[in-house]
Structure 1
Amino acid sequence: MSVAGNWCLIESDPGVFNELMAGFGADGLECIEVYNTQNTEFFKDALGLIFLFQWGNDQKKESKPLDFVDDNSIFFAKQVINNACATQALINVLFN
């Protein structure tokens, strides 16, 4: 068994995600990398957000909830299988 277990380890890169989406038949969609959540212009047409790196408590807590978020529509899944986060997150966004 490989280091990644049963899951293919993929790079957390928008280009890789775009290739996966094309392989799944999701035409006309694009993944982009967002470096902060302050500019909400990126989220107008977003189908989902994928957070791929652990956000520790030692980070600055200057952010605040976004005004337009409907709390009843948010789905959060915690990774329990090593190296599955990117693939599972992308599949969840596409299926929802």
Structure 2
Amino acid sequence: MTDLARTRTLRTPGGLSVRYRPRTVLAVTACLFTAAAVAVATLGSGDYPLTPGEVLSALTGGGDPAADFVVNELRLPRVVTALLTGAALAL
């Protein structure tokens, strides 16, 4: 099977076309979901442990003010920096 046979093309009514490989889209989606799950787990671990529900409520602006401070002010900048550094190294 040739390389072009595995490639799909998505065409829009405006004339834009995008080529993609379904296996690549699946792999990227799986990696993004895994990174998000690890980020939530990392945001919840530490000296002040939080459940994933508390982390998600702090990220969306609700919940306990102490959990909001710990997640948004202390842990989130480090997790975002780690994710961006990993992405930069991957490139």
Normalised by the size of structure 2, how large is the TM-score?
0.27
* Higher Rg of the two aligned structures: 2
Larger RCO of the pair (alpha carbons < 8 Å, separation 6+)? 1
Q: Which protein has the bigger helix share?
A: 2
Please identify which structure carries the higher strand content: 2
